Chains A and B, each alone.
Chain A
Amino acid sequence: MFNQLFGNIWLVTLASGAVIMGFLTVNALFLVWLERKLSARFQRRLGPTEVGFAGTLQTLADAVKLLGKQLITPRNADKPLYHLAPVIVFMPVVVGVSLFPIDRQLMFVDLNVGLVLVFAFAGIGFIGIFMAGWGSNNKYALLGAMRAVAQNIAYEIPLILSALSVTLLARSMKLSAIVEAQSTLPYLLFQPLGAAIYLIGAVAETNRAPFDIPEAESELVAGFHSEYSGMRFAVFFLAEYSNMAIVSMVATTLFLGGYHGPWLPGYVWFFIKVYGLISLMMWFRWTFPRLRFDQLMSFAWTVLVPLSLANLMGTAVVLKVFRR
């Protein structure tokens, strides 16, 4: 769509980048507000009420406050790593968002390896997290970063395996083709186990409760971003909430039929599904207690990985036997 509009690939890239950055910022502001509001209601509190209608502008005010804060760099920090880490964490997210079909005619880039690219860029983010933890020269930040990397490697495997079984069904890694294949029924009905594994893995990937061990406040201050202040901290926050949006977009595309849905226009359905999943993740966070680290790792390696492997094998066998 944008290619036909502009013709110039650089202009298109620039415009898409600007649109996605704007979307991600508004998305993060909205999600922080939603999280605070939902957590409050789950605990029978009111949450933000003062700034704007029902506190909607509270996060904007917080963002302005963060912009005005002093950026502190620890004296013994590894400066290049420390300064580069927030960028490395955030940039893959921008690329990731551009890959999803938001509507039949609305997507920024349509690649035939879209699914691979999504997970590849998600993987780059963890390098950024480890850079932040290492560069901070702080034992808590380093411990948090180590946990984050270990956890993310452990959960990436079942995540990708469950996504693979969907590509077997759709016979494509092109995200638009996967969505088109679900025009009648979403893959959630054919892959309930895969969807469940994906959801668990996605919560772990975004480092959210009950898998928020890398940021366990009671043990690690704030985990890998303990030493970051002001806008650098805000970028980590932005990346965290954008990652929530991305894993939800992947889940929407793979299991919930993307933009397909009755009556409403496609992009409305897409965002309804994405924000519904995000709300579900917030619901998890404010319900479940945090896992212990060994529980988390053994759950990933001894339960999720075998289950997702079995799911992939089962899917392959069933497809080989029954398809045409």
Chain B
Amino acid sequence: MTATTRAKTNYLVTVLGGLFSLLAGMLITLRNLFRRPVTEQYPKSKPALSKNFRSAIALVRFEETQTHDCVACMQCVQICPSFCIAIEGDKPEGLKRKRATEFHVDYALCSVCGLCIDVCPTNTLKYSRVYDQVAYRRDAFVYDLLTEFRDAEVAYLEKARQEAAAKEAAKQAAAAARANKDTAPAAANASKELEND
């Protein structure tokens, strides 16, 4: 085989290969023509968020109490590197445990590091899944996390107070019973002695 004929066959191979690659490319675009578009029509359809999606912190609503369990221990306030949490707490009347009365998070400052969630002793903090907050002023990003718990909190406190009162009553009753028990054997002995006599 001379050099020129080899060059010619190579030329033919190049041409046919090029033609094939053109057809292959057209097949790829054709296949994509009939696939579903991946466009997300954002305001009309919301994206599916990842399981690990992090956003501004929120309070957990527990099943049994239907409210949060923030005891205003201030650990999250202390650990927060962005100083974006502000909490006030107080002992409600008739209860011995502290409850949060104010819980503000400035999401404009929050870096979503999650330290507050890790440090929370009652596990009442979680990541929320909001992502499209918009405002004209920065202070609009200061969220009051307790607003959605106001009614539940009142009910919970009422119940807790009743429980506490019931507990107190039971305790007193038990104490009274114990006091009776202390005197009862003596009385029984006394009655026995009376019988023996």
| Chain A residues engaging chain B, CB cutoff 8 angstroms | 38, 40-46, 49, 283-284, 286-288
Contact = CB atoms under 8 A, between A and B. Distances in A.
Given A283-B26, A287-B25, A288-B22, A46 B41 contact: yes
Given A44-B32, A45-B37, A283-B30, 9 more contacts: A38-B33, A42-B33, A44-B35, A44-B38, A44-B39, A46-B41, A283-B26, A284-B26, A287-B25
A38 B22 CA distance: 19
A40 B39 CA distance: 10
B2 interface: no
B175 to A, nearest CB: 75
Pairs A-B, 9 closest by C-beta atoms: A287-B29, A46-B39, A42-B29, A46-B37, A287-B25, A41-B33, A44-B38, A44-B37, A287-B26
A284 B30 CA distance: 10
A49 B38 CA distance: 14
19 contacts: A38-B33, A40-B37, A41-B32, A41-B37, A42-B29, A42-B32, A42-B33, A43-B32, A44-B32, A44-B36, A44-B37, A45-B37, A45-B38, A46-B37, A46-B41, A49-B41, A286-B29, A287-B22, A287-B29
Interface in B8-48: 22, 25-26, 28-30, 32-33, 35-39, 41
Contacts of A38: 33
Contacts of B32: 41-44
Contacts of B29: 42, 283, 286-287
Contacts of B33: 38, 41-42
Contacts of B22: 287-288
Nearest to B28: A287
Nearest to B31: A42
A43 B39 CA distance: 10
Nearest to A41: B33
Nearest to B24: A287
Nearest to A285: B29
B40 to A, nearest CB: 10
A79 to B, nearest CB: 44
A265 to B, nearest CB: 29
Contacts of A286: 29
Pick the most buried of A44, A283, A287: most chain B CB atoms within 10 A of its CB: A287
A286 B26 CA distance: 9
Interface in B26-81: 26, 28-30, 32-33, 35-39, 41
A41 B35 CA distance: 8
Contacts of A49: 41
A283 B22 CA distance: 12
B39 A45 contact: yes
Contacts of B26: 283-284, 287
B25 A288 contact: yes
Contacts of A45: 37-39
Contacts of A288: 22, 25
A43 B38 CA distance: 9
Kindly name the residue among A38, A40, A42 whose own CB sees the greatest number of chain B CB atoms within 10 A: A42
B22 to A, nearest CB: 7
B18 to A, nearest CB: 11
Contacts of A46: 37, 39, 41
A46 B36 CA distance: 9
Contacts of B25: 287-288
